[in-house]
Homo-oligomer: A and B are copies of this chain.
Amino acid sequence: MKEPTIMDVARQAGVSVATVSRVLNGSTLVNASTQEKVMEVVRSMHYTPNAIGKQLRSQKTMTIAVVVPDISITYCVEIIKGIENTANPLHYKIIICDAQNKPEKEREFMTLLVSRTVDALILVTPSQTDAELATYADNGYTLGVIGRDTGHDAIPCALTDNVKLTRQVMTHLIGQGHTRIAFLSGFATAIDNYERLEGYMKGLQEARLPFMPELVDNGDFTEEGGYAAFMRLWERNTGLTAVFAANDEMALGVHKACGELNIPIPDRMAIVGVDNSRLTNYVRPQISSVEQPLQTMGVLLAGKLIDQMNANEQAGRRIFKIDSILVVKGSSLGRTEEGQG
- A interface residues, Cβ below 8 angstroms from B: 1, 3, 48-53, 55-56, 61, 71-72, 74, 77, 80-81, 84, 93, 95-96, 98, 100, 111, 114-117, 139-140, 252, 278-279, 282-284
A-B contact pairs, 18 of them (CB 8 A): A1-B139, A3-B116, A48-B111, A48-B114, A48-B115, A50-B116, A52-B52, A52-B116, A71-B71, A71-B77, A71-B96, A72-B81, A81-B98, A95-B95, A95-B96, A278-B279, A282-B283, A283-B283
Verify B71–A80 contact, CB threshold 8 A: yes
Closest B residue to A108 by beta carbon equals B88
**A48 CB, nearest partner CB in chain B, Å:** 4
**A218 CB, nearest partner CB in chain B, Å:** 23
Question: Besides the contacts A50-B116, A51-B117, A96-B96, what 7 more A-B pairs have beta carbons closer than 8 Å?
Answer: A1-B139, A48-B111, A52-B56, A72-B74, A72-B81, A252-B282, A282-B282
With A81-B98, A140-B1: A53-B50 Cβ-Cβ less than 8 Å: no
In the bound complex, how far is the Cα of B173 from the Cα of A184, in angstroms? 43
Return the 8 tightest CB-CB contacts between A and B, nearest first: A1-B140, A51-B115, A96-B96, A95-B95, A48-B114, A51-B117, A52-B56, A282-B282
User: Within 8 Å CB of A114, what residues of B?
Assistant: 48
User: Within 8 Å CB of A139, what residues of B?
Assistant: 1
User: Within 8 Å CB of A111, what residues of B?
Assistant: 48
Verify A72–B77 contact, CB threshold 8 A: yes
Copies of this chain, whole number = 2
User: Within 8 Å CB of A95, what residues of B?
Assistant: 93, 95-96
In the bound complex, how far is the Cα of B116 from the Cα of A325, in angstroms? 45
User: Within 8 Å CB of A50, what residues of B?
Assistant: 115-116
Closest B residue to A283 by beta carbon equals B282
User: Within 8 Å CB of A71, what residues of B?
Assistant: 71, 77, 80-81, 96
**A152 CB, nearest partner CB in chain B, Å:** 15
Closest B residue to A50 by beta carbon equals B116
In the bound complex, how far is the Cα of B282 from the Cα of A252, in angstroms? 10
In the bound complex, how far is the Cα of B139 from the Cα of A225, in angstroms? 52
In the bound complex, how far is the Cα of B116 from the Cα of A83, in angstroms? 24
In the bound complex, how far is the Cα of B243 from the Cα of A239, in angstroms? 46
In the bound complex, how far is the Cα of B57 from the Cα of A55, in angstroms? 13
**A80 CB, nearest partner CB in chain B, Å:** 6
In the bound complex, how far is the Cα of B114 from the Cα of A263, in angstroms? 60
User: Within 8 Å CB of A77, what residues of B?
Assistant: 71-72
In the bound complex, how far is the Cα of B139 from the Cα of A19, in angstroms? 27
In the bound complex, how far is the Cα of B261 from the Cα of A332, in angstroms? 27
**A103 CB, nearest partner CB in chain B, Å:** 16
